Amino acid sequence: MNEGRDQGARLETAPRATAPRDKTRGRGEWFRIRKDLPQERASMLAVFSFLLPLALWALVSYVPFIWHPFILIEQPGSIDYFQPGMLVEREVFAAERARAVLEGRSLAEGRPANPVYLPAPHQVARALYTAFKMPPRLPSEPWLHQSLGHSLKVIFAGFALSSLLGVPLGILCGTFPFFAKITEPFLEFFRYLPAPAFGALAVAVLGIYDLPKIAIIFIGTFFQEVLVIANTTRKLDPALFEAAETLGANRSQLLLKVAVPGVVVDLYTDLRVLLGWAWTYLIVAELVGTTSGITYFIHQQARYRNYENVYAAIILIGLIGLSSDVILARIGSALFPWTPARAKPSLVRSIVKFLAARGNGRATKEQPA
Amino acid sequence: MMGPENGSATVLPLPDYRDKSAEVAERFRRIYERPVVLNICDVGKVFETDRGPVTALDRISFRAHRRELICVIGASGCGKSTLARIVAGLDAPTSGRVLLGDREVRGPGRDRGMVFQTYTLFPWRTVLENVMFGLEVGGSSRHSAEEEAREWIEVVGLGRFAGAYPHELSGGMKQRVAIARALANQPRVLLMDEPFGALDAQTRAEMQGYLLQIWKIVDVTVLFVTHDLDEAVYLADRILVMGPHPGHLLEVVEVPLERPRRPAQLESPLFLATRRHLEALIYGSRVRTTELLPRFRFTQAGDDVE
């Protein structure tokens, strides 16, 4: 009767193949092939995956002798076409300066600067904060949150529509070869047609507002979705269908009580991946007809040369994508209690854990003092 | 450790496997008086492959009586699993027919439960919900299905695990749930296709014990496919011995051992005689001979292992 406990004990010890620590110390422990890193190190690396690009960006932005091809004029001095706040190429500035020295005029002053399209991290961070509070330049333009809301509405409509049709059709194709044979060859053909190619057509048929955009997201995801879900369904162990048949299940019961619940976990993962695709098509879709949503915001800000706002908007898209994925993963593990505990903890969870561990470490270190 | 006198079987001649005690002979007489539950008549199966038709089964005929425990045994490729699948209705015979009572088998049905070698519990259902599956699809109300399922889980001794999911169970426990799930439909025939094949030796022996206990209290005829000779002799009333290419019936062996079976019988002369007979039937003179490999030497002299 203690089979279960034995099994549990074995599961506990088996995957943790971290032999005696001392022996594997050093380089080997960081660079072992296909062996899980200790939790602490994995979390640390996850934090670094964000810190490294940020550090690179900071390096280019804040260290004056790295890149900085321009000089930001602070004092025009005697050069009449210089103005405070103006960006001048290094060579031009040097030449003007040399001439001024020769002629004994007052010198212009400035400091090295990067092009306007590469704002420094702190500028973008500030923009992330102020972008929501900054009123649009024209009263007819939307606020950032309105742009974002509009984008979310379009992506949700497009993705919901494609899933509403794609999920059932995919499961049918994966279960009954009849449906697979009668739809999949055409879908295989259609999925190679790039969704943006239908932009003009969509506008002609559906007008210039949200409908053609929803149509483009639909075209971009639906065909992939059916094929991906059909393949996922086909991966379901056929012995489960046979077992159900010997238990007396009829055809509709096989579909509803075996295929659907059997595939739902993988299907959920598929949908999370496909949602990423939908985001990609969103940016294209928003250019169709009247530009709208977050794309409109990005274009306007670029036109006003507020590049920190452009970056802020792009980062926002990334944050929304990542956090929605994390939330969906959370919901998933609550929805499907029968899946074994995930071997791989989520990125965000490991970052939070890492930071918490650092915090605790500091706290305990401080205690004796 | 092994002395020369108990190392060879020639010292004590084994009895003939047909030498049944009067008790066992009487038992078989009573079995044959019971009604025939499963009638396999001239069943043949031909698979169409890329290299032409392959005969998997060649005119198999056999009758199983009510509450008999039949083992099907044979070398790999003799079609024993195909036979079980045909009885289950998962495959159709190309010739002949299978009768259950007096009705012909035309597909899978609730009257024939099946336990597969691979674990086929539904991962998204708890132990209880797995056992309820057959009752649910058969139209029982949720309440009565649950009540019955609980009883069957108790029968296989897993009452404490009713709420567990399959991934939390060991291989042996999974197969016990699979047995409970099949029996919950109260089938007339329980088909078992190498159900303990993936288990370790210790667990397999336990499972054989469980199966015999369950079979004793349930009105079901068991058709048990295995390639393990000991398992077949230990469990069966009769053994269908099959040969390969094409799969055909070599002999139907009546196991001369008394019931209830006990592990001690595994070493009795009658057991060994029966086992040896099966071995000779299936493997012929090929028993325990390994082709001699060409002689090379990759090691130093003086460290011989044999």
ipTM metric: 0.89
Chain A residue with minimum CA distance to B133: A247
* Interface residue B157 vs chain A (CB under 8 A): yes
* Rounded average pLDDT over B88-110: 93
How does residue A38 score in pLDDT terms, banded at 50, 70 and 90? confident
A110 membership: H or E segment, kind and range = strand A109-113
* Interface residue A263 vs chain B (CB under 8 A): no
CB A301 within 8 A of CB A309: yes
Nearest by CB to A4, which of B108, B123, B168?
B168
A319 pLDDT more than 50: yes
A1 pLDDT more than 80: no
CB contact (8 A) between residue A338 and residue B172: no
CB contact (8 A) between residue A240 and residue B122: yes
Residues A116, A301: Cα–Cα separation, whole Å: 12
B1 pLDDT more than 70: no
* Interface residue A254 vs chain B (CB under 8 A): no
B97 pLDDT more than 70: yes
Can you name the residues that pair with B46 across neighbouring β-strands? B55
* Interface residue A243 vs chain B (CB under 8 A): yes
B2 pLDDT more than 60: no
A181 pLDDT more than 50: yes
CB contact (8 A) between residue A246 and residue B113: yes
CB contact (8 A) between residue A243 and residue B116: yes
Query: Percentage of residues in chain B with pLDDT exceeding 90?
Result: 73
DSSP state of B247: B
Residues B253, B278: Cα–Cα separation, whole Å: 8
Chain B residue with minimum CA distance to A261: B124
* Interface residue B134 vs chain A (CB under 8 A): yes
* Rounded average pLDDT over B45-62: 92
Residues of chain B found within 8 Å of residue A264, distances taken between Cβ atoms: 124
A367 pLDDT more than 60: no
CB contact (8 A) between residue B137 and residue A240: no
Distance of residue A298 Cα from the nearest chain B Cα, in angstroms: 45
* Interface residue A238 vs chain B (CB under 8 A): no
Pick the closest to residue B112 from B189, B194, B218 (CA basis). Answer: B189
Distance of residue A2 Cα from the nearest chain B Cα, in angstroms: 10
A64 pLDDT more than 50: yes
Q: Residue type for A145, please?
A: H
Nearest by CB to B124, which of A242, A245, A262?
A262
Which residues have CB under 8 Å from B263's CB, separation 6+? B205, B209
What pLDDT was estimated at residue B7?
Answer: 46
Can you name the residues that pair with B191 across neighbouring β-strands? B114, B223
* Interface residue A368 vs chain B (CB under 8 A): no
How does residue A349 score in pLDDT terms, banded at 50, 70 and 90? low
CB B271 within 8 A of CB B253: no
* Rounded average pLDDT over A118-129: 90
CB contact (8 A) between residue B170 and residue A249: no
Which residues have CB under 8 Å from A109's CB, separation 6+? A73, A74, A75, A77
Bond into B246 cis (ω within 30): yes
Distance of residue B142 Cα from the nearest chain A Cα, in angstroms: 15
CB B72 within 8 A of CB B222: no
* Interface residue B117 vs chain A (CB under 8 A): no
- Measured between alpha carbons, how far apart are the two ends of chain B, in Å? 15
Chain B residue with minimum CA distance to A242: B90
Nearest by CB to B173, which of A3, A243, A338?
A3
What pLDDT was estimated at residue B75?
Answer: 87
What pLDDT was estimated at residue B190?
Answer: 97
* Interface residue A276 vs chain B (CB under 8 A): no
Distance of residue B165 Cα from the nearest chain A Cα, in angstroms: 6
| 169-198 in chain B: CB under 8 A from chain A | 169-170, 172-173, 178, 181-182, 185, 191
CB contact (8 A) between residue A246 and residue B90: yes
CB contact (8 A) between residue A4 and residue B125: no
What pLDDT was estimated at residue A347?
Answer: 65
Chain A residue with minimum CA distance to B134: A247
User: Each residue of A264-313: pLDDT tens digit?
Assistant: 999 999 999 999 888 888 988 888 888 888 899 888 888 888 898 899 99
How does residue A346 score in pLDDT terms, banded at 50, 70 and 90? low
Q: How big is the A-B interface in CB pairs under 8 Å?
A: 95
Residues B291, A180: Cα–Cα separation, whole Å: 50
* Rounded average pLDDT over A90-111: 88
Tokens of A281: 């098509």
How does residue B259 score in pLDDT terms, banded at 50, 70 and 90? confident
By the 10 Å C-beta count (0-12 exposed, 13-18 middle, 19+ buried), B142 is classed as exposed
**Least confident range of B101-110, B242-251, B284-293:** B284-293
A90 membership: H or E segment, kind and range = helix A90-103
Residues A29, B182: Cα–Cα separation, whole Å: 49
Bond into A238 cis (ω within 30): no
Chain A residue with minimum CA distance to B138: A248
CB B46 within 8 A of CB B53: yes
Tokens of B24: 């066992």
* Interface residue B88 vs chain A (CB under 8 A): yes
Q: Read off φ and ψ for residue A148, nearest 5 degrees.
A: -60, -45
Residues of chain B found within 8 Å of residue A253, distances taken between Cβ atoms: 137
Which residues have CB under 8 Å from B109's CB, separation 6+? A246, A248, B89
**Least confident range of A29-33, A160-164, B172-176:** A29-33
Radius of gyration of the CA atoms of chain A, in A: 29
- State which of A11-20, A140-149, B131-140 shows the largest mean pLDDT: B131-140
Residues B216, B67: Cα–Cα separation, whole Å: 9
Residues of chain A found within 8 Å of residue B126, distances taken between Cβ atoms: 338
What pLDDT was estimated at residue A360?
Answer: 61
CB A142 within 8 A of CB A136: yes
How does residue A359 score in pLDDT terms, banded at 50, 70 and 90? low
CB contact (8 A) between residue B167 and residue A7: no
Residues of chain A found within 8 Å of residue B116, distances taken between Cβ atoms: 239, 242-243
What is residue A75's three-state secondary structure?
Answer: strand
* Interface residue B142 vs chain A (CB under 8 A): no
Average pLDDT, chain B: 89
What pLDDT was estimated at residue B286?
Answer: 57
